[in-house]
Structure 1
Amino acid sequence: MDASRLPGFLLRRLLKSALVIVAIAICNFLLIHAAPGDPASVIAGQSGSADPQFMEQLRHQFGLDRPLHVQLGIYLRDVLTLDLGFSHRQQMPVATLILDRLPATLLLTGAAFLLAVSGGVALGALAARRAGTWADSAITALALTFYATPLFWVGLMLVLLFSVQLEWLPSFGMSDPGLDLHGPALWWDVAQHLVLPALTLGLFYLAVYARLTRATMLEVADQDFVKTARAKGVPEGRILRAHILRNALLPVITFAGIQAGQLIGGSILVETVFAWPGIGRLAFDALLARDYAVLLGVFFCTSVMVIVLNLATDLLYAVVDPRVEVTG
């Protein structure tokens, strides 16, 4: 990678990313408003009043009585100033709600991502090195099982086994609300609560990385440069690490950059099952309450995170493979 071309590459990618974010914001706004349901009716029901005059007042208060294109223009103007709106259900700014919940989601998805990538690459490398043996068959069967099993079912089974039967781990929440913990004790309590949801979310993607790593390693192992290294007497361990695994990681890195964004979306189901206080659970509650501002804020933030992760993936790809140029 030519370092002199990096600033220009970053500038072009940032400009393209800005256009993509605006386009995503417009699509999210139109999709949310095309969904059935009236937020004013939900608010009025929560207030215990369905008087038409009161509902009209609510629509005017939240700008729902304006034409759709006017609402869209106001929304885009606010987004450009990082104003994500106000939650009628929580009676708080949307940005505050998201910032309060975002660390929990990043902790969950980060732990699941590390588990998936490290475990998947390790299992895939072991399966490729033991190709055709019982170990390869066992890893393949295990990966296919994790891939085909619904996330919510895995989560419930883990709760039944480790929380109900064995009583090893807590089942729900991020920490024990009945304990006033601080410092290392608090972190240990959060870590215990993190195990089951991170395992549930990570096992599915672990299976994907294991299969991908195995396939790419077997493909790279048949390349001429690997055969040449063996003919020169290079130790098999060095061939595996420096030649096969390093080249096999290139498609894994690309796929990991895409899957990292999908992890945030997949966390909605896991956070709901385990009552994890992240933005996925926040989006689910906002959907039930027709809280448009919160939904749009969550979608906007997750879109930005996905784009940032994709940009980081491109840079990492160029670092891992010196043949990649950061032009165009």
Structure 2
Amino acid sequence: MALARKRMRFVARRLAQSIPLLIAVIVLNFFLLKLAPGDAASVFAGQSGSSSPEYMAKLRHQFGLDVPTHVQLINYVTNILTLDLGYSFRNQMTVAALIFDRLAATLLLMGTALLISVVLGVLLGLIAAMRVRTWKDNVISVFSVVVYAMPTFWIGLMLIVVFSIKLEWFPATGMESVAMFNTGWDRVADIATHLVLPSVTLSLLYMAVYTRLMRGSVLENSNMDYVTTARAKGLTESSVTFRHIVRNAILPVVTMAGVQLGNLLGGSVVVEAVFGWPGIGQLAFQAIFARDMSLLLGIFLISACLVIVVNLLVDLLYTFLDPRMDL
């Protein structure tokens, strides 16, 4: 019970510390987007074929762009405090509805990619460290370096060419076969089939990082005094490896996985564009060209909240992996 209370206090303290961070993210993103050339009014005017001063003034008033920048910022922050993320005139929907309609697809893609990268990265890194300076270590090390050096979009395109076009094993685009009208477990299987190539593409880069990190961490922990003591007690090598070395060596991997969540979100934009995956990454890609500032700000805010929550969960996971950690 005492440990549970300490964890609850830790969560409350971290959430309170996140409030200034979220405010900084909101303000910084607002001014960064303001520095970008063009706005939604100019895009709409160009698409409609009319750019008369009267029409532009009407659009800017409709989008709230005819007031000073500081007033726009105050209005935006006020709306956020009332849980109003704004309205996307481009999509004729509220920003919250647009984001939460796409968020599940992105979370599915990111969660699957994170699971693949961490599990395979830890496994390959452990194998390389246990077979250091052998052909297995060399193959895994070379593979991780080569994969890390390849651009994500290129990997995605090559997977489409090989596994979708040549072998016809997996679909190339989309999240599911809408025309099939699948329901129940058939729909789950269909989505899983569409998920394979995007998740593998997104996970390969991070898997290479975790492989190298796990290998180095295992080799470092293998020379620690506590490992020597465990072996002196007569424990088997497998018990020493999995009960002592792996449990401590995996901590840097867990930390890196939490830190790189923002990069994973950024990578999902490229992957979703390549595979036509209907997530917030593709939505952000479309919003950039439409200069849909309200939608972009909403996506950035939700992404920041997601990163904060995941890092909090990572810190809590630390307390289970290493009970000595002070909350």
User: What TM-score does the superposition give when structure 1 sets the normalisation length?
Assistant: 0.97
Question: 1:221-276: CA deviations, max 9, x gaps?
Answer: 00111112112221000000011100101111111111233212210000000010
User: Which amino acid in 2 is paired with 1:231?
Assistant: A
1:171 maps to 172
Alignment of 1:175-214 (within 5 A): 175-214=176-215
Contact 2:39–2:292 under 8 Å retained in 1: no
> Counterpart of 1:237?
238
Note the 1:274-285 alignment, pairs <5 A. 274-285=275-286
Q: Aligned AA for 2:248?
A: N
Do 2:86 and 2:96's aligned partners in 1 also have CA atoms closer than 8 Å?
Answer: yes
SS at match of 1:204: helix
Give the aligned partner of residue 298 of structure 1.
Answer: 299
The total of aligned residue pairs comes to 326
* Contact preservation (8 Å) 1:2, 1:325: no
Q: Would the aligned equivalents of 2:221 and 2:248 in 1 still touch at CA under 8 Å?
A: yes
Q: What is aligned with 1:260?
A: 261
Shift of 1:195: 0.3
C-alpha separation between the residues in 1 aligned to 2:235 and 2:113? 36
Structure 1 position 11, deviation (Å): 2.1
* Pairing 1:63-78 to 2, within 5 Å after superposition: 63-78=64-79
Shift of 1:184: 1.1
**Equivalents in 2 of 1:141, 1:183: separation in Å?**
42
Compute the RMSD of aligned alpha carbons: 1.1
- Give the aligned residue type for 1:167: E
Deviation per CA, 1:58-100, whole angstroms, max 9, x where unpaired?
Answer: 1011110100000000000111111111111101101000011
Which residue number in structure 1 is paired with residue 125 of structure 2? 124
Q: Distance in 2 between matches of 1:265 and 1:82?
A: 25
Q: Distance in 1 between matches of 2:22 and 2:254?
A: 23
* Matches of 1:16 and 1:275, distance apart in 2: 37
Confirm or deny that 1:51 pairs with 2:52.
Answer: yes
Instruction: Look up the equivalent residue of 2:37 and give its one-letter code.
Output: P
Letter in 2 for 1:269: V
Letter matched to residue 233 of structure 2: K
Give yes or no for contact 1:200–1:270 (8 Å, CA) kept in 2: yes
Contact 2:87 2:95 in 1 (8 A): yes
Structure 1 SS opposite 2:177:
coil
Name the CA distance, whole Å, in 2 between partners of 1:177 and 1:314. 40
Return the offset for 1:48. Answer: 2.9
Answer yes or no: is the 8 Å Cα contact 1:172–1:193 preserved in 2.
yes
Corresponding residue for 2:161? 160
Taking the aligned partners of 1:277 and 1:158, their CA distance within structure 2 comes to 19
Task: Note if 1:308 corresponds to 2:312.
Answer: no
Query: Is contact 1:109–1:198 with CA below 8 Å preserved after alignment?
Result: yes
- 5+ residue gaps, structure 2, are none
Cα distance in structure 2, aligned partners of 1:267 and 1:319: 29
In the other structure, the counterpart of 1:92 is 93
1:276-326 alpha-carbon deviations (Å, 9 max, x no partner): 000000000000010101100100000000001111111111221111111
- SS of the residue corresponding to residue 89 of structure 1 reads coil
Gaps in structure 1 of 5+ consecutive residues: none
Please tell me whether the aligned partners of residues 261 and 309 of structure 1 are also in contact (alpha carbons under 8 angstroms).
Answer: no
- The residue number in structure 2 matching 1:227 is 228
Offset, 1:157: 0.4
The CA deviation at 1:9 is 2.1
Q: Distance in 2 between the 1:126 and 1:203 partners?
A: 17
Cα distance in structure 2, aligned partners of 1:207 and 1:5: 36
Percent identity over paired residues: 52
Distance in 2 (alpha carbons) for counterparts of 1:43 and 1:184: 43
Q: Which range moves more in the overlay, 259-268 or 109-118?
A: 259-268
Contact 2:198 2:275 in 1 (8 A): yes
Runs of 4 or more consecutive aligned structure 1 residues displaced over 3 Å after TM superposition: 1-4
Three-state SS of the structure 2 residue aligned to 1:233 is coil
Cα deviation for residue 146 of structure 1 reads: 1.0
C-alpha contact 1:43 1:88 (8 A) present in aligned 2: no
Partners in 1 of 2:140 and 2:308 — Cα distance? Answer: 33
Query: What is the TM-score with the length of structure 2 in the denominator?
Result: 0.97
